[in-house]
Amino acid sequence: MKKGTIAKHFLRDERGVFAVIFGILAIVLVAFSGAVVDFVNVQNARSMAQGALDSTALSLQPSIYTQTEEQILTVAEPIILERLSTINATAELDTVSVNTDDGTLFMEARLTVPLPFLSLVGISEMNTRVASQATRKRLFLEVGMVLDNSGSMNWSSRMNNLKTAASNATEILFDGEETSATTKIGIIPFTSFVNIGANNAGAAWIDSAGNSSIADDNFDNDDDENTPFSGPVNRLALYDQINNVQWGGCVEARPNFQTTGPDAHLDTDDTEPDITDPDTLFVPAFSPDTPDWWAGWQSDYENDTASSTCPPLFWASDRERQERLCKYEGNINTGAWGPNFDCPSAPVLPLTNQKQNILDAIDGMDAGGATNIHMGTIWGFRVLSPTEPFTEGRAYDPDTMKVLIIMTDGENTMYAANNMNGASYYSAYGFPYNERIGTVGWSSNQLRAEMNNRTVESCNNARARDIVIYTIGLDPPNATTQNMLEDCASTPANAFFPENPSELDGVFAQIANQLSALRLAQ
């Protein structure tokens, strides 16, 4: 047969064509039949992704007041991926939007679902989007104003400007009301110490029995520094022995053992005082009189042999002379120092919804003394805490926004000295000799750096409770202090550094207006 004839027969031969056509149609039929399965898988994946996104948005909505959109996205994405780990799909959270005025958190994610059947015809996956929005405004607002009352606040009318600014902010937050149903404010003045109120002498959270491990610091009754003092020293009873001095209301920092465990950092957290754990209680401050021949130091305010119960000392060490308990009896020479050294005259005002009480507390502040931003910060935290020592705060819950406004014009201050105590004066941590902050031989810079560390640690602990922190550094003295205040603030936008005292009013007003917008309209 000729080649041309063979070709013609081949082209006319229809045997086997059905098999080819059937093969092609089979692929299409399988693909489109399986498309139903692919579609069901997409719907299931989308439903699960919607549920994961909804639950994530609801759980993270309270954080919109303390975290940026970027921070929320970083936290949210692994949560969503973990909740979708059982399905054959991938999700990417690419949109997080926050509106604190409305209390809204909006999230949107891109979901990619593989299509094993439709991939036979070139459609390998389907992309879809899921979105969720959680809305809940804060019903209650609690603000702790931590306000510097140190001596430098007397310069350039700083204290007057601060009083005006804090008072005007109070007016904004109370919105014309004398008593608010939704807003409370507390005032926390600070110097080297914080005055928690002498009227609290009988409170269960005060160490009135001398059982705290720090109650005996700088006191002994046997005039022998080589023998341990069996104690205890009841600081309030010591004040009661003195006719012309009463406890001013200041307390020392709780122990910070620099170890791990629940009681490791009692001076940077709001651990509730527990009478069965004396170190959680607050020890009344009592600045000890230093030896007589330290007359150049203001801390020498009483004679080492001041009374008939204090016999003369011969060849006694400075430590023995400083620690004598018998000096504190009858009338003592308080001089410029005295046992209530640097205790601010203005006490803490716990959270209250009475506007006039707040304005009176602000007006009653008086500048004088050194600066301990850490003490102001940690007591601001405790004022907002719902547990003792102050219980006016609401529980930590999504309905309540708790805010700290920390204002200072200086730096954490402690001066090292070449003496047996290691410092120029007594502080809320005692002396470096007591090893509750540093030790003898530490420099002033080292002591201040540790105070800065504890300030930031207190801020971190407060933020862990969803407390929003604003910081205000009036003409900050150095970059170290500015960095510390920035580290304390909840966001960079929450740290303010006005240069002039007259700018304080605008800063406080800006913060108050922001907070007012977060309240739920009644």
pLDDT of 69 reads 86
Give every CB contact of residue 308 below 8 A, 6+ residues apart in sequence: none
- Looking at the domain assignment, is residue 153 inside a domain? yes
3-state secondary structure of 444: helix
- Looking at the domain assignment, is residue 416 inside a domain? yes
* For residue 252, pLDDT beyond 70: yes
Residue 408 pairs with which residues in a beta bridge?
473
Whether residues 153 and 284 fall in one domain: yes
Tens digit of each residue's pLDDT (9 = 90 or more) over 136-158: 666 799 999 999 999 999 999 99
Whether residues 177 and 87 fall in one domain: no
Whether residues 204 and 352 fall in one domain: yes
Using the 8-state DSSP alphabet, how is residue 369 labeled?
S
Nearest Cα residue to 509 out of 496, 522, 519, 499: 496
Beta strand extents in 281-374 (DSSP E only)? 349-352
**What is the overall mean pLDDT for the chain?**
86
Distance, CA of 99 to CA of 105 (rounded, Å): 7
- Looking at the domain assignment, is residue 101 inside a domain? yes
Tens digit of each residue's pLDDT (9 = 90 or more) over 361-396: 999 999 999 999 999 999 999 999 999 999 999 999
Nearest Cα residue to 370 out of 395, 341, 349: 341
C-alpha distances in Å from residue 239, one per residue of 245, 246, 290:
7, 6, 17
Residue 93 pairs with which residues in a beta bridge?
109
3-state secondary structure of 98: strand
Whether residues 223 and 318 fall in one domain: yes
- Looking at the domain assignment, is residue 4 inside a domain? no
- Looking at the domain assignment, is residue 50 inside a domain? yes
- Looking at the domain assignment, is residue 13 inside a domain? no
- Helix runs in 231-302, H state only: 235-240
pLDDT of 77 reads 83
Q: Are 192 and 428 in contact (CB under 8 A)?
A: yes
Domain count, the chain: 2
Peptide bond into 189 cis (omega under 30): no
Tens digit of each residue's pLDDT (9 = 90 or more) over 186-227: 999 999 999 999 999 999 999 999 999 999 999 988 877 777
Give every CB contact of residue 190 below 8 A, 6+ residues apart in sequence: 146, 147, 148, 149, 150, 344, 371, 372, 373, 375, 376, 379
Whether residues 289 and 257 fall in one domain: yes
Whether residues 88 and 41 fall in one domain: yes
384: which 2 tokens?
């907002």
Listed range (265-269, 313-317, 498-502) with the worst mean pLDDT: 313-317
Peptide bond into 255 cis (omega under 30): no
- Looking at the domain assignment, is residue 356 inside a domain? yes
Whether residues 365 and 412 fall in one domain: yes
H or E segment at 385? none
Tens digit of each residue's pLDDT (9 = 90 or more) over 39-86: 666 677 777 778 888 878 877 887 787 788 888 888 888 887 787 777
Token pair 């003092």 is found at: 229
CA 379 to chain centre: 10
Angle of helix 158-174 versus helix 504-516 axis, rounded to 10: 20
Of 99, 117, 135, the position where a domain reaches its end is 135
Whether residues 78 and 144 fall in one domain: no
**How many other C-beta atoms lie within 10 A of the C-beta of residue 11?**
8
Q: Are 455 and 469 in contact (CB under 8 A)?
A: no
Catalogue the long-range contacts made by 74-82 (C-beta closer than 8 Å, 24 or more residues apart).
76/107, 79/52, 80/49, 80/52, 80/53, 80/56, 80/109
Q: Are 454 and 256 in contact (CB under 8 A)?
A: yes
Q: Which domain holds residue 62?
A: 18-135
Distance, CA of 347 to CA of 194 (rounded, Å): 7
pLDDT of 500 reads 96
Q: Stretch 328-339: mean pLDDT, rounded?
A: 84
- Looking at the domain assignment, is residue 5 inside a domain? no
Residue type, 380: G
Whether residues 99 and 220 fall in one domain: no
Q: Write the CATH number for 472.
A: 3.40.50.410
Residue 373, sorted as left (phi over 0), alpha (psi -120 to 50) or beta, turns out to be: alpha
Distance, CA of 416 to CA of 274 (rounded, Å): 34
* Share of residues in the chain with pLDDT > 90 (%): 57
